Structure 1
Amino acid sequence: MSPFRRILEFAKPYRIYFVLSIVFNVLYSLMAIVSITSILPILKILFDNVKKEDLEPIDTTAADVSLFDELQHDATIYVADLMQQYGQLTVLAWLCAVTVVMFFFRNFFRYIAQYYMIALRSGTSRDIRNAMYNKLLALPVSYFTDQRKGDIMTRISSDVDGVQRFTLMPIIEFFRAPIMIIATLAMLIFMNWKLTLAAFVILPVMGLVISTISKSLKNDTREAQKVLGNLISQVEETLSAAKIVKMFNAEKHLSTRFSDTNTQWRSLTNRVERKYELASPTSELLGSLTIIMLVWFGGKLVLEGEGLEGPAFILFLGLFFQLLDPAKALSKSFSDVSRGNASAERVFEVLDADVVVNQKVDAKPLTKFEKSIEFRNVSFSYESDQPVLKNFNLVINKGETVALVGQSGSGKTTVANLMTRFYDVTEGEILIDGTPIQDVKLDDYRALMGMVTQESVLFNDSIYNNITMGKEDATEDMVKEAAMIANAHEFIVTLPNRYYENIGESGGKLSGGQKQRLSIARAVMKNPPIMILDEATSALDTKSERLVQEALDNMMTNRTSLVIAHRLSTIQNADKIIVMDSGEIKETGEHLDLIEQNGIYANLIRMQNFG
């Protein structure tokens, strides 16, 4: 299915707005014809000084007399009667007033048609953004390691705007413009078919030129959006690493990199906009050629007296000029859709991204954790030829605290990622109470787990909302209790707004230890039976580490815990310590037993000067 048709699927819930817009556009098209033709009697008065006694009867049997000629003759007699009865200026004033009313209704109907289309466009773009955001929430962690944040932000902002502007806005033109063209064309043929036939000789050429321009727009637009995503990624990286940039005097390097990317984006944007703007003057030039042809051929018919009078010819030109606008709008719509399709394809790349960690259709519910979590012959690799875990076997019994230690790159964090099903194993299986975790509902499984990582992930919101994330039924007493267990209550009450204090972007108003204690309070609030701690104290100073470690000890009481430790002093009381190296288990035991073995663990202890 083409991107354009898929966008229309999103617009289906708003089809009532579309139908209403079509109805009012039909009325607009009719009033456009009526408002122009209402000028004909005025032209008659001004140019012919119509008098009833001067009018000759029309021969309706003549071959060259059209229905339009008959209607025009009858209208002229009617106007002449009115002028004889009320005077020329009075009738002229009446006709002008009628024309003004016609133009009012014409524009009123056009506004109402656009009024409903605005509701369709805004609703559809909102639903697309919601669908993209929900898809981002559903995508696995692996997706975000392969994508630039700035590019994703561009897709959900700029590309959706592009869809609304260049796909949804032209939709109505695909219906309004043909209606307007057909109605006007019918009137033109009704007035003089010879002149109309001459006018349409050049229009197919216009369509061919616009189509050629439209096709070249799509690829350029897609490339420009890709570069814009890269540009925003660089801004996001700079904001996140402001301290490092200044410390390493990297301003010049980053400025040059940003300037080069910005120049590339400018070049592509110039190319896109120039091609886009080429469509309108091209169609206008071809339209002008058509008008000149009409003036010559129509003037010939008037001068030679071949069934076309001066006022009718002026009306014909007015109607044809009116025809050019919808013709240009229709050709422009094809150019717009080409640009919109480029943005739509980038949007659908996100919506169609594979959710690698899928939940089976027949997944079983899971309400509690009773016995153990077991890694059975597990192997895993992020890249197919680079295994991170090899034949990994581990049993974590309920109530145990199991610690993973080892050098960086030994596979500790990978174990946590597999246990939480951020990734699925390459070989082997992970079981909870004897059931493979792929066979249970993912939400139920993760509901049994809490996690505190090295980097505190907090949101630009109040302390209260950060602690209660994912627990909508939390009370203030529950929040305070969780904060007390996490040793966070004492610093929270010193803040101006206490629990309702906004902590800024990523908790920027708090210290590292304070942010970590809020993360622990959030985990306590969830109150899961299984807790995963991924180097939760490695980035803290001594005082903060003591407070956080005390909070962690409080939280882990009567829970099953997997602790990834950098500072080995924090896991000496673990029930089981797993020493890893190159994705394999090298040693297993308690703290004192492993020291006596005088192996890898004992060497790590000596390196950290811990006795």
Structure 2
Amino acid sequence: MTLYRRILGYLLPHSGLFGISIVAMIVFAALDAYSFALIIPFLDVLFEGGSGSAGAIAGGGLIGDLLDWSVGWLMESAEPMDSLRNVVLFLFVVFLAKNVALYVQQYTIAMLEGLVTRDMRNHVYGHLLYLGFPFFQRTRAGQIISRLTIDVDQIRALVTANLAKAASSAIQVVVLLAMLLLLSWKLTLIAALFLPPMVGLWARFRQRLRLGVLRVLDAVGDVSSQLQETVSGIRLVKASGAEPWENRRFRALTQGHYKALIRNERWRQFFPPATEMVIAVAILGLLWYGSYLVLEEGSMAAASFIVALGYAMKLMAPAKFLGQFPSLVQPGLAAGERVFEILDTRPEVVNRADARPISSFRDAVRFEGVGFAYHPGESVLTGIDLEIPAGRVVALVGPSGAGKSTLADLLPRFHDPSEGRIILDSQDLRNLRLADLRQLMGIVTQDTILFHDTIRANIAYGRDDATQHEVESASRAAHAHDFIIDFREGYDTVIGERGVRLSGGQRQRLAIARALFRNPPILILDEATSALDTESEQLVQRAIEELMHQRTVLVIAHRLSTIRRADEIVVLEGGQIVERGSHEALLEQEGTYQRLYQMQFAEPVAASAGPE
């Protein structure tokens, strides 16, 4: 029930609209049942000549009073055809009103579908944006996309279409049973006896169906993940000639989805015909017993029995839906579990209740005894003591896996230290507002992140009020303006997903222009030129020098030639600082830095250590 309540919570903001839909359902069900009752005087006029009042024809009672009050005056004519005409015209008005109510019901439900889908996607997406890096490191992108699209659609169907139809069916069952009861309590009792088996048929298999749907949705997520990874890495796929191998992997996943689907459908599709058999037995029982009431007992008029039988048959459709409802909602409930799994994931890095604002950086960044582990007992960084004074350039070098990128990630609080603390202008980073802290920093990485949007939007990312002058100034400083204006649309050029229309150097310069546009006092350069050719690297290096001017910079690079001018070079190995100093001083120490330098340049240290 907790899951039901959480899902139905998305209807609460739109309860007024849902209330209108419920009222329309009630009006529709009442008019639908009433229009059927009008068949009684119509049949009597047609076959018996219309002797007696409408109420008397119906056998008296409440339904007779209703017919006398509503259509009795239409049947006062002595001519049967005049009476038939009057009843037919009145039926037309009733059908018109009934279908207006049906339109209102369906339109409001369609509005609710759109609103619930919008709200749920916005909620999940908004929560995703604030989840920490560990979540995205352990969760495949395709699974996230599948939950935000396919699973939300399943929940939408549960909250609106299925729930609305269940409400409508329940209203119809109540109204039709009431009308049937007014005609014959005996037939009503027979019809009611068959309702519990239909409604309860699914109960014992509900959990099995839920687990089956979960397996199907997981398989859909795996297919989405594989597709997303293949499309993202299509260059590697083609370069490796791996199309047949990827095809086999994808076919294996779709086969797994097919098997999960068939195993679930094997049970789910058993119940509609089973429910249909219950309905068939109920109708046959009503036919036999109703005929007895008309022919043997004489307690019921033939016209009333035909209408009662019609009510009973109309009753079975909504009753059948209510019987199948537990099965129909299983995809939505299973999808709800998967979506709420994301919503229940708490961000690892959050603002403290008393977090302080910060708008500038003046003094220094200090790492004091910092340690970090992605998993308990598996330290990536240990005992890091480091000071980066304002306006200085500090470079991190070391072999792969030494912890350089992890150390840089701690500065904008992508992770929090497992031990120790990081101080910015005498304030622990954890005491500062997260948004304010990150506003002080610009990050340029080798794996440049660009969006399927215009060049202007990518440079001014996050700001809708950016002026052309601001954007152009940043691109000129990043040596990107010349290649931008070579495009026919200039700054309005759409660069494709991840900037596929640009070269590697152009993508890097756009990323640098974006950092320059933000004008942050602290800059993190993570292997920013290690994947470029010589010409592109020279252009990017000039842009980086412009970017680094009068800023506090933390540089990570495998290509040691790019960091010779750093004020201090810090060498990491095994998650610890093993050396620090200038380029020349570190070469003289004959330690890790010298070894890395010799590996890259394959020349005597003496020849490399001279003045530049």
Change over 3 Å in CA distance of 1:493–1:10 after alignment to 2 = same
Instruction: Note if contact 1:41-1:75 (Cα within 8 Å) is conserved in structure 2.
Output: no
How do residues 471-510 of structure 1 correspond to structure 2 at under 5 angstroms? 471-510=463-502
| Aligned-pair CA distance for 1:141 | 1.4
Alignment correspondent of 2:236: 244
| Aligned-pair CA distance for 1:334 | 2.5
Kindly indicate whether residue 538 of structure 2 is the aligned counterpart of residue 546 of structure 1.
Answer: yes
Aligned with residue 134 of structure 1, among 113, 123, 126: 126
| Aligned-pair CA distance for 1:106 | 1.6
Instruction: Note if contact 1:390-1:584 (Cα within 8 Å) is conserved in structure 2.
Output: yes
| Aligned-pair CA distance for 1:69 | 8.2
Q: Deviations over 1:317-372 (max 9, x none)?
A: 11111211221222233222222110011111111111001110110111111111
Alignment correspondent of 2:18: 18
Q: Distance in 2 between the 1:417 and 1:384 partners?
A: 18
Alignment correspondent of 1:105: 97
Alignment correspondent of 1:181: 173
Instruction: Give the alignment's TM-score, normalised by structure 2.
Output: 0.94
Alignment correspondent of 2:135: 143
Q: Distance in 1 between the 2:291 and 2:582 partners?
A: 105
Aligned with residue 467 of structure 1, among 455, 459, 462: 459
Aligned with residue 247 of structure 2, among 238, 255, 267: 255
Q: Distance in 1 between the 2:256 and 2:398 partners?
A: 45
Aligned-partner SS, 1:451: strand
Instruction: Note if contact 1:167-1:336 (Cα within 8 Å) is conserved in structure 2.
Output: no
Change over 3 Å in CA distance of 1:267–1:595 after alignment to 2 = same
Aligned-partner SS, 2:193: coil
Instruction: Note if contact 2:45-2:80 (Cα within 8 Å) is conserved in structure 1.
Output: yes
Letter in 1 for 2:471: V
Alignment correspondent of 2:210: 218
Aligned-partner SS, 1:380: strand
Alignment correspondent of 1:33: 33
Q: Distance in 1 between the 2:67 and 2:162 partners?
A: 41
Q: Distance in 2 between the 1:75 and 1:319 partners?
A: 21
Instruction: Note if contact 2:364-2:425 (Cα within 8 Å) is conserved in structure 1.
Output: yes
Alignment correspondent of 2:42: 42
Letter in 1 for 2:253: T
Q: Deviations over 1:443-499 (max 9, x none)?
A: 011110000001110000010000000233321111111111111111111111111
| Aligned-pair CA distance for 1:254 | 1.7
Q: Distance in 2 between the 1:328 and 1:436 partners?
A: 63
How do residues 55-66 of structure 1 correspond to structure 2 at under 5 angstroms? none
Q: Which runs of 5+ in 2 are unaligned?
A: none
Instruction: Note if contact 1:51-1:80 (Cα within 8 Å) is conserved in structure 2.
Output: no
Q: Distance in 2 between the 1:125 and 1:379 partners?
A: 43
Change over 3 Å in CA distance of 1:73–1:427 after alignment to 2 = closer
How do residues 355-434 of structure 1 correspond to structure 2 at under 5 angstroms? 355-434=347-426
Alignment correspondent of 1:61: none
Q: Deviations over 1:569-605 (max 9, x none)?
A: 1110100000111111111101111112122112211
| Aligned-pair CA distance for 1:103 | 2.0
Q: Distance in 1 between the 2:238 and 2:70 partners?
A: 84
Q: Distance in 1 between the 2:92 and 2:321 partners?
A: 25
Letter in 2 for 1:521: A
Aligned-partner SS, 2:329: helix
Q: Distance in 1 between the 2:145 and 2:66 partners?
A: 61
Letter in 1 for 2:255: T
Q: Deviations over 1:119-168 (max 9, x none)?
A: 11210110110111111111111211100000000000000000011332
Question: Which one is further off, 581-590 or 236-245?
Answer: 236-245
| Aligned-pair CA distance for 1:75 | 8.3
Instruction: Note if contact 2:210-2:333 (Cα within 8 Å) is conserved in structure 1.
Output: yes
Change over 3 Å in CA distance of 1:69–1:226 after alignment to 2 = closer
Change over 3 Å in CA distance of 1:272–1:93 after alignment to 2 = farther
Aligned with residue 518 of structure 2, among 526, 536, 543: 526
Q: Distance in 2 between the 1:232 and 1:80 partners?
A: 64
How do residues 326-341 of structure 1 correspond to structure 2 at under 5 angstroms? 326-341=318-333
Change over 3 Å in CA distance of 1:49–1:13 after alignment to 2 = same
Kindly indicate whether residue 61 of structure 2 is the aligned counterpart of residue 67 of structure 1.
Answer: yes
Alignment correspondent of 1:62: none
Letter in 1 for 2:211: N
Instruction: Let me know the Cα RMSD of the aligned residues.
Output: 2.2
Instruction: State the number of aligned residues.
Output: 602
Question: What is the percentage of aligned positions where both structures have the same residue?
Answer: 38
Alignment correspondent of 2:431: 439
Change over 3 Å in CA distance of 1:593–1:93 after alignment to 2 = same
Change over 3 Å in CA distance of 1:470–1:70 after alignment to 2 = closer
Aligned-partner SS, 1:382: strand
How do residues 343-354 of structure 1 correspond to structure 2 at under 5 angstroms? 343-354=335-346
Change over 3 Å in CA distance of 1:152–1:78 after alignment to 2 = closer
Instruction: Give the alignment's TM-score, normalised by structure 1.
Output: 0.95
Q: Distance in 2 between the 1:80 and 1:601 partners?
A: 104
Q: Which runs of 5+ in 1 are unaligned?
A: 59-64
